Amino acid sequence: MTDLRLEIAAHLERARARTALLTDTVDEDDLTRQHSPLMSPLVWDLAHVGNQEELWLVRDVGGRDPVRQDIDELYDAFKHARSDRPALPLLNPVEARAYTAQVRDKVLDVLDRVRFDRGQRLVDGGFAFGMIVQHEQQHDETMLATHQLRTGPAVLTAPAPPSPRARVTGEVLIEQGRFTMGTDTEPWALDNERPAHPVDVPAFWIDAAPITNGQYLAFMDAGGYDDPRWWSERGRQHRQKANLTAPLHWIRDRDGWLYNRFGRVEPVNPDEPVVHVCFYEAEAYAAWAGKRLPTEAEWEKAARWDPATGRSRRYPWGDDPPGPRHANLGQRHLSPAPAGAYPDGASPQGVHQLIGDVWEWTSSGFHGYPGFSAFPYREYSEVFFGGDYRVLRGGSFGTDAAACRGTFRNWDHPIRRQIFSGFRCARDA
Ligand code: AVJ
Ligand code: FE
């Protein structure tokens, strides 16, 4: 086997081990139940992962006969809303596991025989396999969010993240100038990350670390949730309708705030980045602090631009793939790490924890870059352009390294907070 084949096989196996961890640790009832109307039953995610793998790798790349064409419709995310999925005649957990395993067997056979140089964008460099690895890892992160919403005793365990060697506070100045946003060269970059294009960015200050629980508590204690000065009109309406008073999963206790984290109740750690806030909460905090959220271009410039060479890096620390010393990714830990815990992952200018820990809300809507072309399917990105979404950057502790890089773009509705979302602030220089 070539290096690329081995590398892809290892990625596929790692994604499947994570899917197994998320679906084997709970019982049948937990797999088929709806833990929140915002989420699919876990057993839907499981078979959907197998079905996408079948569509792209078995049928399209491999040119093989379908395994289960009859179930395509059930697992098409555009055919049924998440809240309607429990009522569908889904494969049961035993069938779903058998189906995904059967697809995987065929995919490993396709992988053995495929030529990566047939001059097709879908196959060259292993793109279709990379897309499917990322797809499974993205659903694994979604399933991890479902675990966070599930009630009952804890089933997931992981060691605590590293402690900071030094406190990281304050802001970093990013000077005015042009940088290259997006990419033409990342082999597994998805269509919305392309093409690379120059962007002129005025000088701005950006927080050296994500906003922590301690900082967010100061906003809460100052009456931030009730003060209309800090909220946009839509934010204010949503705050009232949803009765927002604290991040999701926080519990008020006599002596302070507790956090229900994957079924374990623990005190809110003031040094950890705040997580499970919606865009409007992030926006209100920033206004209270006399700042604003960064634009997507500002975030990416802070994360990738190297002032010494003028080049855009793959990651804040350089071009090396993320390792455990760089960033809190891949569900190695079940929480964000305290600010300052990853000095080796900082940017050349000293911006920390841009990758990993928490997804960071930006002020930007989700649009195609100039010269965008949908690939390989419009439903991955294009159909969401111009909708009511905000872009999130950088990945969370629940994002795998395969689905995270300096150019990666996530998006969600501004009211969502079941995702692992936090933020940092910026301001004009
Ligand atoms: C990029 C995370 C918004 O989960 O809706 C999964 C990824 N696309 N299956 C999502 C995705 C198709 C997507 N996000
Ligand atoms: Fe999907």
Domain ranges of the chain: 2-149, 160-429
Nearest CA to ligand 1 atom 10: 138
139 annotated ligand-binding residue: yes
pLDDT digits (tens, 9 = 90+) for 282-297: 999 999 999 999 999 9
Other Cβ atoms less than 10 A from the Cβ of 91: the count is 22
Joined tokens for residue 313: 């890096």
266 beta partners: 259
Residues 292-331: b if buried by 16+ CB within 10 A, e if exposed: bbbbbbbbbbbbbbeeeeeebbbbbbeeeebeeebbbbbb
CA 157 to chain centre: 20
> β-strand 256-261 against 250-253: which pairing, if any?
antiparallel
The predicted structure's pLDDT at residue 13? 98
Question: Does the beta carbon of 411 lie inside 6 Å of ligand 1?
Answer: yes
Residue-level pLDDT at 387: 97
* Distance between Cα 188 and ligand 1 center (Å): 15
pLDDT at 70 over 80: yes
pLDDT band at 255 (very low <50, low <70, confident <90, very high): confident
Tokens 């605590």, located at residue: 160
Estimate to the nearest angstrom the gap between the alpha carbon of 159 and the chain centroid.
21
Domain 2-149 adopts which CATH fold? Four Helix Bundle (Hemerythrin (Met), subunit A) (1.20.120)
Q: Which atom of ligand 1 is nearest to the CA of 142?
A: 4
Q: What does the DSSP 8-state code read for residue 343?
A: G
Is the CB of 364 within 6 Å of ligand 1? no
Distance from chain centroid for Cα 108: 27
What is 160-429's CATH topology? Answer: paralog of FGE (formylglycine-generating enzyme) (3.90.1580)
- Cβ of 393 closer than 6 Å to ligand 1, yes or no, is no
pLDDT band, very low/low/confident/very high, at 2 (cuts 50, 70, 90): confident
Residue 1 reports pLDDT greater than 70:
no
Average pLDDT over residues 120-131: 95
Torsion angle in degrees (nearest 10) through CA of 111, 115, 116, 119: -140
Phi then psi dihedrals of residue 251, to 5 deg = -125, 130
Residue pLDDT, tens place only, 11-47 = 999 999 999 999 999 999 999 999 999 999 999 999 9
pLDDT for the residue 165: 86
How does pLDDT run across 266-275, given as a tens digit for each residue? 999 999 999 9
| Mean pLDDT score, 130-158 | 97
Q: Do the annotations mark residue 352 as ligand-binding?
A: no
Distances (CA, A) of 258 to 146, 199, 268: 20, 43, 5
Q: In whole angstroms, give the CA distance from residue 85 to residue 43.
A: 10
Which ligand has the nearest atom to the CA of 393?
1
Does the C-beta of 142 come closer than 6 Å to ligand 1?
yes
Amino acid, single-letter form, for residue 252: R
- Residue 401 pLDDT greater than 70, yes or no: yes
Encoded tokens for 89: 């005649």
Mean pLDDT rounded to a whole number for the chain: 97
From the CA of 138, how far away is ligand 1's center (Å)? 6
The whole model's pTM is what? 0.98
For 174, the enclosing helix (H) or strand (E) is: strand 171-174
* Residues 149-189: tens digit of each pLDDT: 999 899 999 999 999 989 999 999 999 999 999 999 999 99
Residue in this structure with the two tokens 């093989």, named with its chain if needed: 64
Question: Ligand 1 within 6 A of 138 CB?
Answer: yes
Cα gap 348→312, rounded to integer Å: 12
Q: Rounded mean pLDDT of 56-79?
A: 97
Task: Name residue 172's beta-bridge partners.
Answer: 206
Which residue has the CA at smallest separation from atom 12 of ligand 1?
380
For 26, the token pair is 């709970």
Mean pLDDT value of segment 112-139: 95
Q: How far is the CA of 134 from the centre of ligand 1 (A)?
A: 10
- Alpha-carbon gap, residue 176 to 376, rounded angstroms: 35
Give CA–CA dist 175/204, Å, rounded.
7
pLDDT at residue 390, rounded to an integer: 98
Q: Does residue 81 sit in helix, strand or coil?
A: coil
> Which one of the ligands is nearest to 142 CA?
1
| CB-based burial, 228-244: b 16+ in 10 Å, e otherwise | eebbbeebeebbeeeeb
Q: How far apart are CA 75 and CA 51, in angstroms?
A: 7
Q: Is 135 annotated as a binding residue?
A: yes
Ligand 1 contact via 381 beta carbon (within 6 Å): no
Q: What is the mean pLDDT of residues 223-246?
A: 98
Max alpha carbon distance in the chain (Å)?
Answer: 65
> Could you tell me which of 355, 347, 339, 346 has the C-alpha nearest to residue 394?
355
The DSSP H or E segment spanning 181 is: strand 177-181
305 lines ligand 1 (CB under 6 A): no
pLDDT of residue 117: 87
Strands (E), 283-361: 359-361
ipTM of model: 0.99
Query: 82 pLDDT exceeds 90?
Result: yes
**pLDDT score of 188:** 96
Q: What is the pLDDT of residue 229?
A: 98
Ligand 1 midpoint to CA 223 (Å): 35
Tens digit of pLDDT for each residue in 85-125?
999 999 999 999 999 999 999 999 999 999 998 899 999 99
Q: Kindly state the tokens that stand for 218.
A: 């100061």
Distance from Cα 47 to the centre of ligand 2, integer Å: 10
Determine the atom of ligand 1 nearest the C-alpha atom of 410.
1
DSSP annotation string for 7-66: HHHHHHHHHHHHHHHHHHSS-HHHHHS-S-TTS--HHHHHHHHHHHHIIIIIIIIT-PPP
Taking the CA of 49 as reference, the closest ligand is 2
Per-residue exposure over 172-207, b if at least 16 CB sit within 10 Å of its own CB, e if not: bebeeeebbbbbeebebbbbbbbbbeebebeebbbb
Q: What is the pLDDT of residues 331-386, one digit of tens each?
A: 999 999 999 999 999 999 999 999 999 999 999 999 999 999 999 999 999 999 99
Which of 164, 89, 156 shows the shortest CA–CA distance to 336? Answer: 164
